[in-house]
Chain A
């Protein structure tokens, strides 16, 4: 980059600043990971001995296993349903004409610019007044709403990148609209779809506040972590947190890499 002919000092300053921010972001997490291998009961220096006890304990904790299981099930169903609904909606926005298109798009993207807590409390109040008991299925529905805008935004770009002649070719060969969607367009933007599944999964897997509002006694992994944190400290949280961090970041990075690498579904 020669456009901004920055002086050596400015360059050094920017480097330093960037590194400082990265350090601020990672330092606490690294501390957490280190503590997850520390035999000491108290979260303080100096470091005692290396141990994997906390991880072993984590796996013996039935609440943890239950929460993890629930979270995996909920996040999977959220990511699959949000991706399917988002794919259909994104396709419709991309290819169809209908009168209230901008309003419909606005409504579908609105949760993105809304505090999560409002989605949670809104659904809680609504379903309480309808006499519906909170439960994990409601959590899944609430989280679907929350990740749907992300899915739509991603998939719209993916679908736009698929040359419309692919679709026209399939249609002129006699394929129905749905068949074209399933057999031609979806495979042609496969990497976007996988990225969307991963991103929506991660968001749902880590989502706490909607789940907290829409459950009474059921446990998801973030709820389990939360209750451990606010009701008397237990060092296994370090192990759980480290595991969740690495899992989520890996999925999120994978999704981002897929999105950055995605190629238009046409030949150059």
Chain B
């Protein structure tokens, strides 16, 4: 499925039709800035996730796109038409909330059909189309029940159906999985991804969970304190983080201070390491070394002493002290012998290492 998705994604990128354009968008609450001069193009048909810790402005941004929050500065375009001050009712965007916001006093059919009712469809047509959607989502036999009679996962599907039935130009999702328990979350993640592919619509999602963002998205926009840190595909963000924040947000990494010397990174002990990208000599940087970048080998970059070994199924996590630094190393138990605590080992680095500037 992944490969097929990639094909879809490449197709979408090739078209490069911008569905939503954010142009220098800022938001201030009183004097507190929540979003700062943010520029972002969201392409038609892509699944874009706004990712960041709480308070980074991601939900505010989503609400501004939906028109539920005013924009302090800058402009928002929807299909190349400016909508900055357009009422939310007039934007063809639907938003799915964290708590799903199903109307507690209506049964599932009426919930799903609500958008059609507002659009003025006849009662029989509303019913027919809502029934179709419930059928598609396997909820037909619950059609006459109230939202509080169904499970969390079913609620999510009802909320999705309610948003999709009016054929919006994009679907906005505010923390779509956080109301669910861990097992269900994994299952619905896949389902959400599937629905996105089937519908071919632009999905804009907000989450604080990097794993969720990676699993769902074509592209991820990482936000920090109201600023856009980096936007790119999950691979790009993991392999080529542009800042320490992005590097630590995605997965674990050993961040080692270094200095650039002749296009390589020079560590304090004199080791030179191949790096990705071009950097000016003398810049102070940090190496982003993922635990899986290390290999135990005699063709080594470093010597180190093993201080701890933890087995994680097929993997082993090893803490190694190398001169004055500690490295968290991850090796596959199938392909490599796991050392013991107290052993001295040689460590080799795989491939060019990404580098982030020291702020």
Contacts and interface: CB of A to CB of B under 8 A. Distances in A.
A154 to B, nearest CB: 19
Contacts of B314: none
A174 B119 CA distance: 8
Interface string A164-180: 01101111111110010
B66 interface: yes
B68 interface: yes
Contacts of A188: 103-105
Interface stretch (B92-100, B228-236, B315-323): B92-100
A244 to B, nearest CB: 34
B88 interface: yes
Interface residues of B, number: 32
A243 interface: no
Given A168-B68, A169-B95, A174 B103 contact: no
Interface residues of A, number: 20
A184 interface: yes
Interface in A173-208: 173-176, 179, 184, 187-188, 190
A174 B101 CA distance: 15
A146 B43 CA distance: 57
Given A190-B105, A265-B104, A170 B99 contact: no
Contacts of B32: none
A188 B146 CA distance: 13
B241 interface: no
Given A179-B118, A267-B147, A267-B148, A171 B88 contact: yes
A175 B89 contact: yes
B118 A165 contact: no
A165 B105 contact: no
B118 A173 contact: yes
A48 interface: no
A168 B97 contact: yes
B89 A174 contact: yes
B153 interface: no
A133 interface: no
A175 B118 contact: yes
Given A179-B118, A188-B103, A172 B147 contact: no
A163 interface: yes
Q: Is the interface of A mostly helix, strand, loop or mixed?
A: helix
Nearest to A173: B115
Q: Is the interface of B mostly helix, strand, loop or mixed?
A: mixed
A266 interface: yes
Contacts of A174: 89-90, 115, 118-119, 166
A170 B114 contact: yes
A172 B95 contact: yes
A249 to B, nearest CB: 30
Contact of B98 (A165, A171, A265): A165
A170 B96 CA distance: 11
Contacts of B66: 168, 172
Contacts of A172: 66-68, 88-89, 91, 93-95, 172
B115 A184 contact: no
Contacts of A265: 104
A55 to B, nearest CB: 41
Contact of A171 (B68, B102, B103, B162): B68
A15 B7 CA distance: 77
B132 to A, nearest CB: 18
Contacts of A187: 103, 105
A201 B105 CA distance: 25
Contacts of B166: 173-174
A184 B67 CA distance: 19
Contacts of B119: 174
A163 B98 CA distance: 11
Interface in B155-189: 155, 162-163, 166, 172
A68 B230 CA distance: 73
A108 to B, nearest CB: 26
A173 B100 CA distance: 13
A158 to B, nearest CB: 14
Contact of B114 (A165, A173, A176): A173
Interface in B110-158: 114-115, 118-119, 147-148, 155
B104 A165 contact: no
B104 A168 contact: no
A169 B118 contact: no
A267 B150 CA distance: 11
Contacts of B95: 168-169, 172
Given A169-B97, A173-B94, A173-B166, A184 B103 contact: yes
Contacts of A166: 101, 103-104
Contacts of B104: 166, 188, 265-267
Interface in B75-99: 88-91, 93-99
A265 B102 CA distance: 10
Contacts of B148: 267
Contact of A267 (B63, B91, B99): B99
Contacts of A170: 103, 114
A174 B114 CA distance: 9
9 contacts: A166-B104, A168-B63, A169-B162, A171-B89, A172-B88, A174-B90, A175-B89, A265-B104, A266-B104
Given A166-B101, A172-B91, A174-B90, 16 more contacts: A165-B99, A168-B66, A168-B97, A169-B97, A169-B101, A172-B94, A172-B172, A173-B115, A173-B118, A173-B166, A174-B89, A174-B115, A175-B118, A176-B89, A267-B99, A267-B102
Enumerate the 9 nearest inter-chain pairs by beta-carbon distance, A residue then B residue, closest first.
Answer: A169-B101, A165-B97, A165-B101, A187-B105, A173-B115, A174-B118, A172-B95, A174-B89, A166-B101
